[in-house]
Amino acid sequence: MALRNVLLEGDGTLRKKSREVTHFDQRTRELIDDMFETMREEDGLGLAAPQVGVLKRIFVMEGVEDNEPTAFINPVLIDEKGEQTGAEGCLSLPGLFGIVTRPEEIRVRAQDISGEEFERTYTGLEARCVCHEIDHLYGVLYRDKAEGGLHKLEPEEEQDETETASEEIISAKVADSDA
Ligand SMILES: [Zn+2]
């Protein structure tokens, strides 16, 4: 396993559309292992392959509520219900957050590392995370959807690791505040 470099906004790769994964091989496995390691190192809740410079339809998610580490290959949203409005962040736009409206509940279909298809339903933060990561696969950043633009995280929040632990997706503190 190896840490990969997380691309920052401004890098053109983040604006490109990712390709369908057709080979469920060792290379794909290594990429996913590296993505998990990189996501943990960066304290993210999710990470999409384009963020590490690979234009493949893959994202990983972990650490939202009781969620187990999951890799989603060729994910598609097959259903969405309701609406939630809250704070969101992204490892590719460090130190920032914005208010984004997402579905409250989603159902996602994807393939696992063996190419086996699975479906899951997520609500709340996990639903937000899945939507955010799938957007990355289309070259969409949450800046495009943030109401009233992006804001800087407060310095004291940046210094406190527990408060910025969820920079990719959301700072729980920000989400609870009246920001
Ligand atoms: Zn992101």
**Ligand 1 center to 134 CA (angstroms):** 9
**Ligand 1 center to 140 CA (angstroms):** 9
- Known active-site residue 133: yes
Low-confidence ranges of the chain (pLDDT < 50): 159-165, 171-179
Question: Which class for 15: exposed (0-12), middle (13-18), buried (19 or more C-beta within 10 A)?
Answer: middle
Q: Which residues contact 152 (CB under 8 A, 6 or more apart)?
A: 95, 96
**Ligand 1 center to 88 CA (angstroms):** 9
Question: Which class for 94: exposed (0-12), middle (13-18), buried (19 or more C-beta within 10 A)?
Answer: middle
Q: Which amino acid appears at position 84 of this protein?
A: Q
pTM for the predicted model, two decimal places? 0.88
Reported residue count of the chain is 179
Residue 96: per-residue pLDDT = 97
Tokens of 9: 């906004």
- Selecting among 133, 157, 167, 168, the annotated active-site residue is 133
Residue 171: per-residue pLDDT = 47
Residue 154: per-residue pLDDT = 83
**Ligand 1 center to 133 CA (angstroms):** 6
What digits encode the pLDDT tens for the residues 71-95?
A: 999 999 999 999 999 999 999 999 9
**Ligand 1 center to 116 CA (angstroms):** 25
Residue 170: per-residue pLDDT = 58
**Ligand 1 center to 171 CA (angstroms):** 13
Q: What does the domain layout of the chain look like in residue ranges?
A: 12-176
Q: Name the fold adopted by 12-176.
A: Peptide Deformylase (3.90.45)
Report the distance separating Cα 22 and Cα 179, nearest Å: 42
Report the distance separating Cα 134 and Cα 100, nearest Å: 15
In the chain, where does DSSP find H-type helix? 26-41, 124-137, 155-159, 172-176
